[in-house]
Structure 1
Amino acid sequence: MQKIYRQISFISLGVFLIAVFWLFRPHLVNKTIDIYGLNKEKALNEISKEGIANKYVLEALFYIRNAHIKYGEYKFSGIVSPFEVYKKLARGEFLLHKITIPEGFDTYEIAKRLKDDDICSQKAFLKYAQDKSYAKALGLSQDGFEGYLFPDTYFFYKHENPKEIISIMYNTFKKTMKENHLNPTKDDVIIASIVEKEAKFKKDKPLVASVIYNRLQKHMPLQMDSTVVYALKKAGKWNGVLTRKDISIKSPYNTYIVKGLPPTPICNPSINSIKSAMHPAKSDYLYFVNDKKGDLYFNKSLKNHIRQINQLN
């Protein structure tokens, strides 16, 4: 009788070990899953339904180790065991997305890019990017972060905290300035942002900067179209086409009606634009106009400027 019991015990143990092996076996997966906003039960159900790992095994691992799921987007690929799935979920090893912010993007364009790529809410990003108190908390004395969100390629998580994104981009600005031995003033960054928007090609940037300085020195309004576009964006009136009527908009950013520099930068400039603002070309130019390709033509007098416009048209 004891022999029979012993045999049954061995069989039971064998079945148990096979079951454990089956449940904990590594297997090939290639899945991306987003469990952000789900509760634990629904998250584990989704993971199990996608064939990534058995939900009961994961439940047991989280219970035994007294750990918690970090909710977000994950990618599982290759030969993966339930324990590896558990570790990833417990550590919050979220999937990173490559996001490129082009030179000259303003906060509105950055917010839309982040929304389109499902990184964060457009509204939430703009809220903090234009928040004076948050800017002050990070050591920036202006209304928001315009001009200081450095254009670069970044890696962000889906559902990333917009404050974290802003902090990373602002720190990239500071790091880049330090690496290039630059210490731009607030006015330098404002001028650089106008240069960025007005000059398509690197060769024209120092001359555009010189025009800005020359007009400031003569107490002339800058009359830069790019500042009007930004004023329209701030007012929620920009439709993609600048008209003659638009240059009469009442705004501290409208450099057709307000002399001097706008109160903040109008975009986030490149390193070349910042260098041009800090080291402008020496010229007597007061005017410039662009052709259809984006090349700029500079003039010292209004008469020659008008003649140039007529020639290009």
Structure 2
Amino acid sequence: MIRWRGWLVPAAVAVALLLGVGALLSGWYGSGPLAKDVTFIVPNGASLGTVAQRLEDKGIVPSAQGFSLRARVFGGGGAIKAGEFAIPAHASAARVLSIISSDDVIRRFVTIPEGMPSIMVQERLMAQPQLTGEVARPEEGSVLPDSYAFDNGESREDVLRRMQAAMSRTVSELWAKRGSGLAVKTPEEAVILASIVEKETGKPQERRMVAGLYSNRLKKGMLLQADPTIIYPITLGKPLGRRILQSEIQAVNGYNTYAMVGLPTGPITNPGRASIEAVLHPASTDALYMVADGTGGHAFAATLEAHNRNVQKWFAIRRARGEL
């Protein structure tokens, strides 16, 4: 006879109990059957039994029933989490439960660069194979360029809504802190002008200067004459891939600022936070003209005569490069 927890039990029964406990422990902490690393998705609201069956179906645990039993006995009461998790090869059942009860969820990201037009935002979302469903081309200027995390199987519409909510929050925040004497009178106008600034310079340090120049032209009732506004109706913001035609410069539409005074009818891309800030806090400048300077930036001028000299310098640079 053997005493166990205050009870006298036959030796055979004691051995059986020890073997049973040993089997439970071995099945819990021993190496699992998974041959290679995989990802595993726990759906929202899934029960332990449902998850256990999915684990067995994926070959991560040998038995759904055994996993459920051991999880209740040894699991410590931790709740499983919804999300996508990385399960390493040969993970024990204990390790599997620890992983799917943790916050170590796989995070996937889709990045929208500053100045990406909405037609390309739509294409980027549709190109993400882990997302589901269709998504329409969003309204131009409604998406905040940034990196957005998403879950495997999430809908494209849900991700887009987060992008648009981020833009709405950002515009509201920045508009509340805007400077005085601005050329733009509404948040919508600020986004339109910011979209032009975004497209007109690749140098971050120039944004406020470009915003100041266009603000000056708006206040004076001058044509903005921004080349990207010619291109937008043709390509919806994608690169044109060739020189602008004279007929396109003269085209009358809601966007071409060579043929109309004031802002376009809407944004020509999705501007980033920095370009919106630049429009709401433009540089104090008398500049009205700009032309490329050969470094990726621009030469600015307050008079047409000074601008023409800058243009001649730019032509000289292009001739030296063999571009003319």
- TM-score, normalised relative to structure 2: 0.65
In structure 2, the residue matched to 1:134 is none
Question: Does 2:188 correspond to 1:182?
Answer: no
Mapped contact 2:141–2:192 kept (Cα < 8 A): yes
Q: Which has the larger radius of gyration?
A: 2
Mapped contact 2:111–2:147 kept (Cα < 8 A): yes
Which SS does the other structure have where 1:75 is aligned? Answer: strand
- Structure 1 counterpart of 2:193, from 191, 194, 198: 191
In structure 2, the residue matched to 1:135 is none
Measure, in 2, the Cα distance between the counterparts of 1:195 and 1:299: 17
In structure 1, the residue matched to 2:243 is 243
Question: Does 2:30 correspond to 1:20?
Answer: no
Mapped contact 2:114–2:272 kept (Cα < 8 A): yes
- In structure 2, list runs of 5 or more residues that go unmatched: 1-9, 44-49, 179-185, 316-324
Q: Deviations over 1:230-277 (max 9, x none)?
A: 333338xx4551422354666523333343222332333333322221
Counterpart residue type for residue 244 of structure 2: R
Shift in Å, 1:96: 0.5
In structure 2, the residue matched to 1:53 is 61
- Structure 2 counterpart of 1:158, from 104, 127, 152: 152
Classify 1:96/1:215 alpha carbon distance in 2 versus 1 (closer, same or farther; 3 Å): same
Structure ranking higher in helix proportion: 1
In structure 1, the residue matched to 2:297 is 295
Question: Does 2:157 correspond to 1:147?
Answer: no
Classify 1:266/1:179 alpha carbon distance in 2 versus 1 (closer, same or farther; 3 Å): closer
- Structure 2 counterpart of 1:33, from 12, 16, 39: 39
Classify 1:176/1:304 alpha carbon distance in 2 versus 1 (closer, same or farther; 3 Å): closer
In structure 2, the residue matched to 1:97 is 108
- In structure 1, list runs of 5 or more residues that go unmatched: 1-5, 131-143
Shift in Å, 1:198: 0.8
Counterpart residue type for residue 190 of structure 2: D
Identity %: 26
Measure, in 1, the Cα distance between the counterparts of 2:228 and 2:53: 49
Mapped contact 2:232–2:268 kept (Cα < 8 A): yes
Mapped contact 2:61–2:67 kept (Cα < 8 A): no
In structure 1, the residue matched to 2:202 is 200
Classify 1:197/1:95 alpha carbon distance in 2 versus 1 (closer, same or farther; 3 Å): same
Counterpart residue type for residue 75 of structure 1: A
Measure, in 2, the Cα distance between the counterparts of 1:217 and 1:107: 29
Measure, in 2, the Cα distance between the counterparts of 1:179 and 1:219: 26
Counterpart residue type for residue 29 of structure 2: R
What pairs with 1:126-145 in structure 2 (closer than 5 Å)? 127=136, 130=138, 144=139
Classify 1:195/1:111 alpha carbon distance in 2 versus 1 (closer, same or farther; 3 Å): same
Counterpart residue type for residue 233 of structure 1: T
- Aligned residue pairs total 284
Mapped contact 1:98–1:154 kept (Cα < 8 A): yes
Counterpart residue type for residue 189 of structure 2: D
Shift in Å, 1:147: 3.1
In structure 1, the residue matched to 2:7 is none
